[in-house]
Homo-oligomer: A and B are copies of this chain.
Amino acid sequence: MSTTSTYRVTGMTCGHCVAAVTEELFGLPGVQGVDVDLASGRVEVVSAEPLDDDAVMVAVQEAGYEVMA
């Protein structure tokens, strides 16, 4: 079983940004998949267990971007 969580991330402008966010999110425990749509900023994260939204926010900030509330 898995959980899909969706976020909106601002500030990504190119494929490098997508890669940076993806890499950080894969560093979170239990994350199995990450899908980022650059145009909309929509980020879907598939995980074994429900994600800690604060941890997601911090990971996105580590990459240099922000999760919209």
Residues of A within 8 A of B (CB): 13-17, 19-20, 64
- The copy count of this chain in the complex is 2
A20 nearest CB across to chain B (Å): 7
Interface of A: prevailing SS: helix
Assembly CA distance A5 to B64 (angstroms): 31
Assembly CA distance A13 to B64 (angstroms): 14
Enumerate chain B residues within 8 angstroms of A19, measured Cβ to Cβ. 16
Enumerate chain B residues within 8 angstroms of A14, measured Cβ to Cβ. 13-14, 16-17
Assembly CA distance A17 to B20 (angstroms): 12
CB closest residue in chain B, given A15:
B64
Given A14-B16, A15-B64, A16-B16, 7 extra CB contacts under 8 A: A13-B13, A13-B14, A14-B14, A14-B17, A16-B17, A16-B19, A16-B20
